[in-house]
Structure 1
Amino acid sequence: MDVDLIWKNFIDCLSQREGIDSAHWRKVAGIPFLYVSVSDAAQGSLHYEIKRCAGKAMRGKRLHAETVSVRVSGNDHVFRHRFYVPQEKMFCCGNLCPDCIRFR
């Protein structure tokens, strides 16, 4: 699974949304940041559009997305956004855990 391809699909989807002027991402100190410029009309629906495009980019893969707002300056928004694989138990430890792999 290539995370760069997922990021490309995510940014392409986000850039095509109405009200979003530009979108790009950059890694700083190993942490991916999402930079989005929006028009005044799209301020309220930005979080929804980010979730929607992240869902489209992750479709068919075992990934989750996390988005945290970092800074807003006028119409420019900065988010800490990451795609990650959830940590799940892959074996039975024998302690009768409620989330045991045997119960799937």
Structure 2
Amino acid sequence: MDRLDEAAISTRLGAVPDWRREGDEIRRTIVAPDFRTAIAIVNDVAEQAENMNHHPDIDIRWRRLHLALTTHDAGGLTEKDFTLAARVDAIAADHGATA
């Protein structure tokens, strides 16, 4: 998968407004209603990540999840990162989580 150029990254970030760019990663924090819901979100994200063979870094702190995406093989951000970010957003919304 090809690394996105700066213009493409800016455009794609507009479609996932809860994500912010930090260097060659995009990051998002999700606040779940409770710990059990946070774990359910992680499980659903894991399913999507496995299906895509694209795995985010996830840090779980009680009901707060910190996620980071990058495509290591490409050395930066690719379409895969933004596709998974949109899926994460849908999962979070389905579980009643907030940014």
What range is the shorter-chain TM-score in?
0.3 to 0.5
| Structure 1 length-normalised TM | 0.38
Going by fraction, where is strand more abundant, 1 or 2?
Answer: 1
Going by fraction, where is helix more abundant, 1 or 2?
Answer: 2
Larger Rg: 1
| Structure 2 length-normalised TM | 0.40
